[in-house]
């Protein structure tokens, strides 16, 4: 196969395990593909610029070797390229993250041999992206795309604590540990949620989930009705839950059976606006990116993803 492939490797992903595991896998890819190059990231955000340049160099595939945050950076880099309006570069995901929830949504293989077979089949499908605008940590209004899930509220606070930790244990356990650590100090925030120019909810909320995919937090099926290939976003509201109720319903959430709870709402919409007069954290694809006020909508731009 003569396709040009660039692997963008985040060695710090999975608590640093990728740095140990990837070299062996890399040798296999290099034997199988004539034009296979790898680039290691050294700092957060670097994958954006690497991906942007790779698209301009007409790479057929970019391989994200890392977690959902690495995928997110590469997607944003691809869409920042000069050729983004006629994007021919496709995305491969080689999951090496703490949670790797997008890989779970897409049922992607973990074994190298299975991934190589998929690459050789050259089967891809366009997935929808969500474009967001929000306040970064410096208070500036900026835009960003994501594939899987964004979350305002307690979930974002959990992600913030998780990203600040060393992530030395399994992804699901890491998330659960930080969730319980956050739960006992977190206070639900007064938030206003509008969708398709209608007021959906105003009051105390635990979390606002803007879902393109289904899973977050290392396997929590928070948006079981979401569809990556739908033209609408699944908006899931976790309203004024008590701490006890969150613990009780967590098992249901893993199974995707929490939507019947009276404090949970699920909507399918095209545009969402979340606002608050308090500081409410925002995370996208596992990365803590800023705070609300924030807006979300289905993007006209899509990414071709190896399936």
Residues 108 and 162 reside in one and the same domain: no
Residues 135 and 116 reside in one and the same domain: no
Q: Which residue is listed with tokens 């640093």? A: 16
The residue segments making up the domain with residue 14 are 5-122
Residues 83 and 193 reside in one and the same domain: no
| Distance from the first to the final alpha carbon of the chain | 17
E strand or H helix at 294: strand 287-306
Residues 152 and 117 reside in one and the same domain: no
Would 257 be classed as within a structural domain?
Answer: yes
Residues 170 and 45 reside in one and the same domain: no
CA atoms lying within 13 Å on the CB side of residue 254: 10
Residues 12 and 105 reside in one and the same domain: yes
Would 54 be classed as within a structural domain?
Answer: yes
Would 307 be classed as within a structural domain?
Answer: no
CATH number at residue 13: 3.40.50.10330
CATH number at residue 171: 2.60.200.40
Residues 30 and 112 reside in one and the same domain: yes
pLDDT score at 1: 60
CA separation, residue 126 to residues 53, 91, 129, 223, 293 (Å) = 21, 10, 10, 20, 29
- The structure's pTM equals 0.93
Calpha distance 86→63 (Å, rounded): 19
> Helix H segments across the chain?
17-32, 46-56, 68-79, 101-106, 112-121, 154-164, 171-183, 243-255
Calpha distance 163→286 (Å, rounded): 8
In order along its 307 residues, the chain shows pLDDT tens digits of: 688 999 999 998 888 889 999 999 999 999 999 999 999 999 989 999 999 999 999 999 999 999 999 999 999 999 999 877 889 999 999 988 777 888 888 888 888 999 999 999 988 999 999 999 999 999 999 999 999 999 999 999 998 888 887 665 555 677 888 889 999 899 999 999 999 999 999 999 999 999 999 999 888 999 999 999 999 999 999 999 999 999 999 999 999 999 999 999 999 999 999 999 999 999 999 889 999 999 999 999 999 998 8
Would 305 be classed as within a structural domain?
Answer: no
Cα–chain-centroid distance for residue 254?
A: 17
């Amino acid at each position: 196969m003569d396709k040009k492939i660039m692997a963008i490797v985040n060695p710090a992903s999975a608590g640093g395990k990728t740095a140990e595991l990837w070299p062996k896998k890399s040798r296999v890819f290099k034997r199988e593909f004539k034009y296979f190059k790898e680039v290691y990231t050294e700092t957060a955000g670097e994958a954006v610029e690497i991906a942007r340049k790779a698209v301009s160099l007409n790479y057929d595939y970019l391989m994200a070797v890392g977690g959902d945050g690495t995928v997110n950076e590469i997607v944003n880099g691809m869409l920042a390229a000069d050729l983004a309006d006629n994007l021919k570069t496709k995305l491969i995901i080689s999951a090496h993250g703490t949670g790797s929830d997008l890989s779970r949504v897409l049922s992607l293989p973990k074994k190298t041999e299975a991934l190589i077979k998929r690459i050789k089949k050259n089967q891809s499908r366009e997935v929808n992206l969500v474009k967001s605008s929000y306040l970064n940590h410096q208070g500036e209004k900026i835009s960003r795309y994501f594939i899987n899930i964004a979350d305002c509220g307690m979930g974002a606070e959990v992600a913030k604590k998780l990203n600040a930790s060393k992530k030395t244990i399994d992804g699901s356990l890491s998330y659960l540990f930080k969730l319980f650590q956050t739960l006992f100090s977190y206070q639900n925030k007064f938030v206003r949620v509008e969708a398709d120019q209608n007021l959906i909810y105003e009051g105390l909320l635990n979390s606002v989930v803007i879902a393109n995919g289904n899973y977050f937090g290392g396997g929590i099926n928070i948006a079981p009705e979401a569809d990556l290939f739908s033209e609408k976003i699944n908006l899931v509201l976790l309203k004024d839950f008590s701490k006890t109720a969150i613990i009780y319903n967590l098992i249901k959430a893993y199974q995707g059976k929490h939507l019947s709870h009276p404090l949970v709402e699920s909507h399918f919409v095209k545009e969402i606006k979340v606002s608050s007069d308090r500081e409410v954290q925002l995370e996208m694809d596992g990365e803590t990116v800023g705070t609300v006020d924030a807006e979300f909508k289905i993007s006209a731009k899509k990414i071709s993803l190896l399936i």
